[in-house]
Amino acid sequence: MSRTVTRLRDGWKFTRTDNPAHPNPDFDDSAWTSVRVPHDWAIAGPFDREHDRMTQARKQADVEAGVQEITGRTGGLPHVGVGWYRLRFNVPAEAAGKQFRLEVDGSMSNCTVYCNGTHVGGWPCGYTSFALDLTSVVQLGRENVLAVRLENLPESSRWYPGAGLYRNVRLVVLHPVHVAHWGTYLTTPTLTDKEGTVSLETTIRNAGPETAVTLRTAIHDRNGTMVCMEETTRSLSGVETIRQDFIVPDPQRWDPEAPNLYTAVSTVRVAGETVDRYETPFGFRSLDFDPDKGFFINGRSLKLKGVCMHHDLGPLGAAVNVAALRRQLHMLQDMGCNAIRTSHNPPTPELLDLCDRMGLLVIDEAFDEWALPKMTNGYNLLFQDWAEKDLRAMIKRDRNHPCLILWSIGNEIPEQNSPQGADVAQFLCDICKDEDPTRLTTAGFNQADGAIRNGLAAAVDVPGWNYKANCYVEFHTLFPDKPTYGSETESTYSSRGEYFFPANEEIGPFRVPHHVSSYDNEFPNWGYSPDVEFRAQDECPFSLGAFVWTGFDYLGEPTPFSEAWPSRSSYFGIIDLAGLPKDRYFLYQSTWSQTPVLHLLPHWTWPGREGETTPVHCYTNFSSAELFVNGVSQGRRRKSVKMVTGAYRLVWPGVRYQPGELKVVAYDRDGAVAAETVIRTAGEAAAVELLPDRQAMAADGDGMIFITAQIVDKDGNPCPRADHGLSVEIEGPGTLEGLCNGDPTSLESFKGSRMRAFNGKCVLYLGSVDGRPGDIRVTVSADGLRSGQISLESR
């Protein structure tokens, strides 16, 4: 019998109480809460500034010395403390002689696992995937009990880390002879149009007596057709590695434009019987990081147009959902993004699977902290004993993914300013090369002088520079043999649909209410506008590209309102926490993609501003456009390379607001009308309109439909300032998994059935029920408005 893999999703019990009797199989957990894993115990709230209030010394030179009180740094959610999970599962007597392995993709944090009352292991870092052998403690033909204790320490994270068994957990049943955990390592040493070579190292574990083992590996193309095969027989005991080499004719390359995947299917046989089967997806592609010409994939020059991504999924918290991940990546690709930096820790493995299939490149990042602390109880407590284990685990898990292009050993590490920093960096780089000599190493440096002086920048293959757009030429001169790129850039922040006048570029504005302007010209003292980075990349052909901070808003780090409340999530995202594009999305799309873009801002509903100057910006990839207010031309503007802002956006600074119609007309290079966009002043709010991203989802308990509830007037015009309270009702086999309006100051629970609209919108996360197909009817109502209703399908 081949391996069986059971996802341990349903049937878990959970409590926040802490009791040494919890591992006992006979313990009565009937009063505990029933939950499904992945599970984030803190995401339902409530929000409270006391959950993560802390103080720290002021570091900015331009403010009064002393201490500052930080609130909302980790989202104001109750993630600190202990949580217990218990699961009862049965193993049939027929499984005698098998091996049993528990696989945990991520557990936040300080995980300790018991099976049938016996401690079987654990792992302290919440981002690391690991496996535990349960063979000696599993009871055949009887009920078994897993018990998992987790504890998040206070002041251990700079953002919302999540809480609980927030990634997938599996039970794997194996023959004593089997492919080991993460037991394949596949490389493609040579690649031409006519043939690609494959070198595959397969680690076999034999938990029984020495025996003859046959490893048969077949390479299948994307259509499932076998293209080559190799068979090796060897007498094995313990753990041994078998190397096999293949030649694949006419290889179809993996490329962002055509992410062709192959699969190596490893079959293990003993005495003629198939005892294990293991699949390793992979791709043929070549990578070249040229210090003078930039990044090349398969010989094709490609500028990295990347974003940094934290791991939470907005109203779902840290709990992994593939449908929500896929939605995020599709939105980023539609914007023109082609690369992700997993800031600042190893991602869930499903992210890499999706990037493989969708053609997104990935920088896999291991650490935000080494031995010198950023947080009192941060990773510095683990670094000495666990850094090597965590780094090797990340690389062994992820190294077969063709989407991966670089290993990042750290982000903005305090050791940049330490004379010992280079030795630590070299130690980590050596581990990367030992586990995977095919890829280069990188790190994100924000203290350039220290990283250069103390040798950290020299230790990595590809130094990454955080917020140094004006220094790329200098770094290229200092390191002529090393590639250059922006590992973290911009940090422009904005609140979706919020506009403040005058629309001037501003550093770190503090205002009440706690919002920043969607004119996309406000940023902290280390940041700058997107236009600055666009210009730097255009003027530096040697640069590999850049990674924007950030693709999506995330929970925690509510800069510039770190000392304010309420403010519980970031403003940095190009897309807000609900998954709604901000204006800035269209600025990137107009610069990064080939999609025709003609986007106007701000909205045109400003009662009380009649006659006042209301600047209008246009994000477009057309070369010129003309603006009209109620049919009266405000002049034609043309992109100009002479000005940083004028090269990437068109601006009419002196427009005076009049209710009615704001229209922009774009012209092609011959002067003909190419496109137009119209915004109309909204009347009184009249109805709720529901806009689903799809009509059907899988009835597997993981499927999800994302529905935007939008408030409109009687003519269907969006009401851009509406803030009505919305109530959600669902009939049929669907569940409301989350509500989010994208407002960083909202303290309403993501897990309720009511939420106010923020600037006219709110998003419903509709989940399916496993094994229950059927029609679902969703109704969203608000006092005084016509309700929105929609019929969807789970199948």
CB 478 within 8 A of CB 494: no
Whole-angstrom distance, CA of residue 360 vs CA of residue 305:
10
Among residues 103, 365, 369, 412, which one is catalytic?
412
How deeply is 688 buried, as exposed, middle or buried, from its count of CB atoms within 10 A (0-12, 13-18, 19+)?
A: buried
Among residues 369, 488, 557, 737, which one is catalytic?
488
Long-range (24+ apart) CB contacts under 8 A made by 444-449 are 444/365, 444/408, 444/410, 444/411, 444/412, 444/487, 444/488, 445/412, 445/416, 445/487, 446/412, 446/416, 446/488, 446/526, 447/412, 447/416, 447/417, 448/475
Q: DSSP state, 315?
A: G
CB 793 within 8 A of CB 705: no
Whole-angstrom distance, CA of residue 570 vs CA of residue 73:
9
Residue 103 annotated to the active site: no
Q: DSSP state, 718?
A: B
Amino acid at 188: T
Residue 360's alpha-carbon distances to 255, 313, 530, in angstroms, are 9, 18, 21
Neighbours of 44 (CB within 10 A): 15
CB 551 within 8 A of CB 573: yes
Whole-angstrom distance, CA of residue 578 vs CA of residue 392:
34
Amino acid at 451: A
Amino acid at 486: G
Bond prior to 463 in cis (omega within 30° of 0): no
Residue 661 annotated to the active site: no
Contacts of 259 (CB under 8 A, 6+ apart): 283, 356, 357, 358, 359, 402, 403
DSSP per-residue codes, 284-305? B--EEEETTTEEEETTEE--EE
Q: DSSP state, 616?
A: E
Please list the active-site residues.
Answer: 412, 488
